[in-house]
Amino acid sequence: MEEDRITPLAESARGDSPLAALYATVELRAEVERLQAVQVRRARMLGCTWSEIATILGISKQAVHKKYGGGRGEK
């Protein structure tokens, strides 16, 4: 199982040092983006549609397909 990076980053993002907290926030955002991409791939592999995924992400079907479709011939 993967190491939990979110908890320590979230704690650091609330720290006293503004620069350290900012760095942690940037890292936290990157980790969340990575996790989101993993979940989108899992959803697609399990047969979820781009429309269903887009609704959850709060963006258009075209936007989610452009971001995660990767031009791999997926529709």
Q: DSSP per residue over 8-64, as a string?
A: HHHHHHTSS-HHHHHHHHHHHHHHHHHHHHHHHHHHHHTT--HHHHHHHHTS-HHHH
Residue 60 lies in a domain: yes
Domain for residue 16, yes or no? Answer: yes
- Per the structure, the count of domains in the chain is 1
Q: Please indicate, yes or no, if residue 21 is contained in any of the structural domains.
A: yes
* In-domain check, residue 13: yes
Whether 18 maps to a domain, the answer reads yes
pTM above 0.85, yes or no: no
Model confidence at 42, in pLDDT bands (50, 70, 90)? very high
Decide if 1 is inside a domain. no
**pLDDT-above-90 percentage for the chain:** 84
Residue 36 lies in a domain: yes
- Determine the structural domain holding residue 34 and report its residue range: 6-68
Confidence of residue 1 (pLDDT cuts 50, 70, 90): very low
